[in-house]
A and B are shown apart, each in its own frame.
Chain A
């Protein structure tokens, strides 16, 4: 049987023994990954970096992936991509100090309040929203305002009627919780 016809998780398993097999996954996922990353950072070089990092992480942590019912390889791969994209997006913002908007399709729609299955999470907006909706409201709100709506500390403090110290603390807790939930999903 041609290796290209094997399920992705089998290809990954083979690639852990023979790295040349990983090119099958690179060929298969490079275009959709790049499209998705471009939707987040809107810059070709940044998106390429994200995709590269994603593939490397997939290989690095490939031995931890176990196919179980409801956990698809594709969902797992897209989760890594979205986490990497989000981290890059935050770094970009910190470095440039400029406004970098996420693609509106990632966050404009109403959050999905129904427990979405992991198989659906490859859709970026579902991924971000599904994590945010699982967070306590006050933390989700500051996270959205700061990272997605790009409001300044002062604006958020006025809106939320809190001090800057409280805001910083909330953002810190929100980021930690976001990471925790997104790794659990």
Chain B
């Protein structure tokens, strides 16, 4: 008597559901928390910094050369409020964590359905 097995379609459905549970449990709460923190950081940044003027100055600095542009970025960063500095660092950190978690989710997805 041949051994009964689930066909690939059903096996993939099981793995898809398992992946969805994992995603909802491990990735969604992290990303939601990170997005909330990122929004707070962006709000602080937007309240304290006149973004249009910074971009205008950055364009001016970029026009001369790359070194001037980098110098401008650092001068602007160190010349600003501590709170804004923290918000920028927090924003960058959280953005990289969000990217990392999306990467993890993508890799897990590919591994789950790789044959």
Contacts and interface: CB of A to CB of B under 8 A. Distances in A.
B108 A56 contact: no
Interface string A106-125: 00000000000000000000
Contacts of B6: 26, 30, 34, 48, 51-52
Given A31-B4, A34-B4, A56 B18 contact: yes
A59 interface: yes
A26 B5 contact: no
Given A30-B5, A34-B6, A19 B108 contact: yes
Contacts of A38: 4
Counting chain B residues whose Cβ lies within 8 A of the other chain, the interface size class is: 10 to 19
Interface in B5-46: 5-6, 10-11, 13-15, 17-19, 21-22, 26
A19 B24 CA distance: 12
B99 to A, nearest CB: 19
B112 interface: yes
A79 to B, nearest CB: 18
A55 B111 contact: no
Q: Say whether chain B's binding surface is mostly helix, strand, loop, or mixed.
A: helix
A31 B3 contact: yes
A19 B110 CA distance: 11
Contacts of A30: 5-6, 11
A80 to B, nearest CB: 13
A19 B3 contact: no
The 5 A-B pairs of least Cβ separation, nearest first, read A20-B111, A19-B22, A20-B112, A34-B4, A55-B14
26 contacts: A18-B108, A19-B15, A19-B18, A19-B19, A19-B108, A20-B15, A20-B108, A20-B111, A20-B112, A20-B114, A22-B18, A23-B112, A26-B11, A30-B5, A31-B4, A31-B5, A48-B10, A51-B6, A52-B6, A52-B13, A52-B14, A52-B17, A55-B14, A55-B18, A59-B17, A59-B21
